Every structure is written in C-alpha cells, then in structure tokens.
C-alpha cells in the first residue's frame, strides 16, 4: 500500500479508534489560541498585546520596541498594565466603568477590561458561519466530539456556544470548589466574562505558577486516564510543556511513546503524496524529552471526526449525566434492593429538571420483573470483544460483518435477540448499541467455524424501554 496522505489519514483514524476503545472513555480537549484564530480570526497572545498597545495613548511606541526591549511577553504585559492604569486615572476615565475607580479595585483591572472588550465579538458571523463551508464543517465535526472535559488557556468565549450543556469553570474556581468531573470547560487562564480572572502579567503568572501544583493535582488524572488532544498550540508552547512535564513525572515515560496524547498541527504544505511523522519529540525541561503522537492536517474535519467516532463508546448525554450525578436519591422502600428500577430515557431526561419529579420517578418505577434492557442487553461492542478474548471492538465487528456476508442477516440493522439500538435521548440522533449473551455465543461459533442457527425475529424495543410497574 502506498505511503501517501490517504493512507496516513486511515492509519491515524484507526489509531485514534483503538485508543478510544482501549481507554473506554471520551477524550479531553486542550484548546489554545490557534483554535480561536482559525475559526474567528482572534489574536494570538502577541497579537493581543499589539492591539492593546494601539488602544492606549500612553503606549507611545510600536509593539516591536517593547518586544525588543523586554523580550518576555509576561513582562510586556506588566509594563502595559501599569500604563493602562495611569491612562485610566487621567484622560482615560470615560473608557472604563466607574466601579474600577475605587481603592478596593485591583490595579490591573483596566487592561483586563480592555482585553475583555477586544474579545467580546469573537464568534461566527451573522449567518452563523465561521468563515467558509470548510471551516463550518470542521466546527460541526468538533461539536460532535463527546469530550469528557475541555481545558483551555483562551480568554474568549468561542468554545462555550459549541458545548452548551457543559459547565464553565473559570480560573481559581477550579481550586476552590468541587465539580462533577464530566462536562466542564476549564478556563485556567481566566475568561473575558470575568475580567479580573485574566492571566496577563508577571504577577498573574506568578500566582498561577504557585497554584500550578494544586491545579495539576486536580487535572492530572484526566490526562493520564483519558485520550488527550491538543488543538491550537505549537509544540513549543509553554502550556503544553507544563502539562507534559507533569505527565512525564507521573507516567515515567522514559522516552517511550505516550500512547494517549496527540497534538494536532496545521500544515498547509500537505498534498496527496504527503506522509507526515506520526510522533513528535518535545523538550519539556533541560535534558527531559517526551514523545507524543502527532497529527498534521490542512483540514481538521477528518481529525475531529476521528475523535468523535463512537466505536465502542456510547455518545453521552452530558446534560443528563451531570444532572444524575448532581442528585442524591434515597430509595427508602425495604424491598428496593431486591428489585430493578426501570425507566424510560425520555421520562428521565425530563424528570431531572426538578428534584420533586426526579424523586417521584424513582418512587413509581420499581418493577418485579428484571429489566430486559439492563440484564439481557448488557454488552457494548467492546464488552462482546472482551468476552471473545479480543482487546478491541474491531474484530468483533468484523465477525458480525462475516455473519451478514454468510447469511444476509445484519445483526445491527434491527432490534433482535442479539442486539438493540437505543437513542441516547429524545433530542439526540446518537444510538447506543447493546448486545446479549446470545450474540456472544453466535459470534464465537462464527469465530471457531462451528455450525450455527440464527433467529432473525425482531423485538419491540419501545415496549421494553417503557415498561413500568
């Protein structure tokens, strides 16, 4: 097979599918300023400082002068912070809210207010487009990734409308409060909605560095247990290096390829004959290097689709799951432990909107007969594969395809004694595929070359899913 870009895409997609299947959980997305720039034309850090320089009359030299003089962007941020404060308290008072001019207001609030204003309008245009049909297609693919969580250093609010069921957690809120460990957008450098939270100058970064060990302790488990995709960062970005340094210390990679971490980088030079490198070595500290997986693309749509593929993973209804995790329901009937609770998924989705309805739901749905869905249809495809001794779902899927070729019976096309497909919510088109022990036995016979018989009859999923006492 030729080593070309089509082959590269196929191999990367298969690798991502295998990593997702083996992890048994959804990916973490780590999103940088390159994402905002690609889809909304937003500024990089240096470009933001350049815009800030143009807004303040006391910054009377080109940005190049300050970069030449100070070099470090954090230092430049500190210089600009002081100049913004001086301007605000003199001729610039009309440009800032009155509440900033008190002794209790932080001295750096003026530049952070201006940052908030500069990033206010970033997003799609009036027609909902992100610049082109190609970029719109990328955004749609990105939205379909059922991310376990999103971590970003961006101040803007470009991501939030794409994941409306996720909860935003800003800056030091991560340290001060508990969270549900799924469906969060962690804005670790602050957000324009809360200007004081923005990390821009040396004092901010000093505080951030002091808190880093606590932040790492809260987030590091994510990065170890979940597939991780860096989007909108260069490999040399200090934010990437800080995360990877912590990963290396915990995982003790010893220069072995870290199998669950990817960095996505844009390369406009790619053509159909290209076959980019599949991994990248990053220097994360003096004499410390780490190898992670690399994905190069000129269009990100196929990459986002790869990370959005269900494979063995069920597409999660984040809003519903967060509601379930947030509620504690006490079942007080003495016979409850001996029985199974069966509910209609649509009913549950509505019930979680109120505690009273939620409790009532569980009070009336205890049934005598075991749930056929939960007890009979108990395997995802990965579970089927594990019963057969396979590490991933792919071989089980191949055997189901062999069954179709041999008999014309497509197990996954109907609800039957081997398989059902259930919607994950009444508003969702995503399906959860479940299999029975009968399916495992049938597929095992195909694997072993044994004779088998099939039952092509169908079952009434609606009656199963809605049964109540």
Q: pLDDT tens digits for 62-104?
A: 999 999 999 899 999 999 999 999 999 999 999 999 999 999 9
How far from the centroid of its chain's Cα atoms is residue 225's Cα? 13
Which residues in the chain land under pLDDT 70? 1-2, 174-181, 212-219, 221-223, 250-255, 310-375, 422-432, 461-469
Considering 91, 118, 145, which residue would you say is the last residue of a domain?
Answer: 118
What is d(CA 192, CA 168) in angstroms, rounded to the nearest whole number? Answer: 12
What is d(CA 279, CA 169) in angstroms, rounded to the nearest whole number? Answer: 32
The pairing of beta strand 431-435 with beta strand 228-231: unpaired
SS3 assignment, position 426 = coil
Looking at residue 461, what is its pLDDT? 61
**What does the CA dihedral 183, 325, 419, 308 come to, rounded to 10 degrees?**
0
Looking at residue 229, what is its pLDDT? 94
Looking at residue 207, what is its pLDDT? 86
Looking at residue 340, what is its pLDDT? 47
Give me 439's structure tokens.
């399916």
Looking at residue 468, what is its pLDDT? 33
Looking at residue 138, what is its pLDDT? 96
Looking at residue 22, what is its pLDDT? 84
**299 and 210, same structural domain?**
yes
Taking the alpha carbons at both ends of the chain, their separation in whole angstroms is 58
Average predicted confidence (pLDDT) for the chain: 81
Considering 88, 118, 148, which residue would you say is the last residue of a domain?
Answer: 118
Q: What is the pTM of this model?
A: 0.66
Number of domains in the chain: 3
Non-local CB neighbours of 193 within 8 Å, separated by 6+ positions: 116, 157, 170
**188 and 302, same structural domain?**
yes
Its domain, for residue 19, covers 5-42+123-308
Looking at residue 92, what is its pLDDT? 92
Looking at residue 178, what is its pLDDT? 54
CB burial class (10 A; 0-12, 13-18, 19+) of residue 25? middle
Q: Say if 313 falls within a structural domain.
A: no
Q: Say if 17 falls within a structural domain.
A: yes
**340 and 293, same structural domain?**
no
What is d(CA 120, CA 282) in angstroms, rounded to the nearest whole number? Answer: 34
**281 and 184, same structural domain?**
yes
């Amino acid at each position: 097979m030729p080593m070309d870009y089509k082959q590269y895409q196929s191999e990367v997609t298969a690798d991502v599918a295998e990593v997702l299947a083996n992890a048994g959980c959804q990916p973490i997305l780590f999103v940088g300023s390159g994402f905002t720039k690609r889809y909304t034309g937003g500024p990089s850090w240096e470009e933001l400082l350049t815009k800030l320089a143009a807004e303040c009359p006391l910054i009377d030299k080109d940005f190049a002068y300050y970069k030449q003089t100070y070099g470090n962007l954090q230092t430049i941020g500190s210089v600009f912070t002081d100049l913004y404060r001086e301007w605000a308290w003199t001729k610039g008072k009309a440009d800032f809210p009155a509440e900033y001019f008190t002794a209790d207001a932080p001295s750096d609030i003026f530049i952070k207010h201006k940052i908030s204003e500069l990033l206010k309008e970033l997003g799609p245009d009036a027609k909902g487009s992100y610049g082109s049909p190609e970029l719109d297609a990328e955004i749609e693919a990105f939205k379909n990734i059922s991310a376990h969580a999103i971590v970003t250093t961006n101040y803007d609010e470009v991501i939030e409308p794409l994941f409306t069921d996720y909860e935003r957690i800003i800056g030091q809120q991560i340290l001060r409060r508990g969270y549900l460990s799924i469906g969060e957008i962690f804005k670790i450098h602050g957000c324009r909605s809360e200007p004081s939270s923005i990390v821009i100058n040396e004092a901010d970064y000093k505080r951030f560095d002091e808190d880093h060990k606590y932040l790492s302790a809260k987030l590091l488990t994510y990065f170890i247990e979940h597939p991780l995709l860096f989007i909108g960062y260069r490999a040399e970005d200090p934010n990437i290096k800080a995360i990877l340094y912590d990963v290396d210390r915990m995982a003790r990679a010893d220069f072995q390829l870290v199998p669950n971490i990817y960095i996505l980088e844009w390369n406009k030079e790619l053509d159909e004959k290209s076959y980019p490198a599949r991994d990248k070595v990053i220097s994360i500290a003096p004499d410390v290097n780490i190898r992670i997986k690399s994905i190069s693309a000129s269009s990100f749509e196929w990459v986002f689709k790869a990370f959005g593929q269900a494979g063995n993973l069920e597409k999660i209804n984040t809003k519903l799951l967060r509601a379930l995790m947030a509620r504690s329901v006490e079942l007080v009937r003495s016979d409850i432990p001996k029985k199974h609770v069966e509910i209609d998924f649509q009913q549950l989705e509505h019930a979680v909107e109120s505690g009273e309805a939620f409790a009532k739901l569980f009070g009336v749905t205890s049934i005598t007969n075991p749930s056929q869905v939960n007890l009979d249809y108990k395997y995802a495809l990965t579970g089927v594969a594990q019963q057969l001794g396979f590490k991933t779902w792919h071989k089980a899927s191949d055997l189901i395809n062999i069954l179709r070729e041999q008999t014309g019976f497509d197990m996954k096309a109907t609800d039957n004694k081997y398989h059902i497909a259930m919607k994950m919510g009444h508003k969702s088109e995503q399906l959860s595929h479940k299999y029975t022990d009968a399916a495992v036995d049938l597929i095992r016979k195909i694997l072993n070359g044994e004779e088998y018989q099939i039952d092509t009859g169908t079952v009434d999923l609606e009656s199963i899913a809605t049964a109540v006492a």
